[in-house]
Amino acid sequence: MPTVAIRLDDDMKARLETLAEVHDRSPHYLMKEAIEEYVDEKEAENFVYNALLERWREYELTGETMSGDSVKAWIDALPNE
């Protein structure tokens, strides 16, 4: 794996080292974990944004907010009581 450098000010470096010590992890582990969580979150946000954008484009083309097939599938998926 390639190495990536990151510059932290002294305060952030000290906070990271303290947190790493408390959790018995390396600062590298915490940084990697934080970056992975951030990227996962942003990818999920992008997925939702793109899905909403696609729905809006479909609405602009058809004027339909949901297709009849989508509504039927939703109704069929409801639990029977």
pLDDT tens string 4-60 = 999 999 999 999 999 999 999 999 999 999 999 999 999 999 999 999 999 899 899
Query: How many Cα neighbours within 13 Å face the side chain of 22?
Result: 7
pLDDT reported for residue 46: 96
Q: Count of alpha carbons within 13 Å of 26, Cβ hemisphere only?
A: 3
- How far CA 28 is from CA of 12, 17, 32, 57, 73, in Å, comes to 13, 10, 6, 43, 47
Higher-confidence residue of 14 and 70: namely 14
Which residues have CB under 8 Å from 27's CB, separation 6+? Answer: 13, 16, 17, 20
Which tops the pLDDT comparison, 80 or 57? Answer: 57
| Rounded (10°) angle between helices 27-62 and 10-22 | 100
Give the pLDDT confidence score for residue 28 in this predicted structure. Answer: 96
Q: What is the pTM of this model?
A: 0.68
- Asked whether the predicted pLDDT for residue 79 surpasses 80, the reply is yes
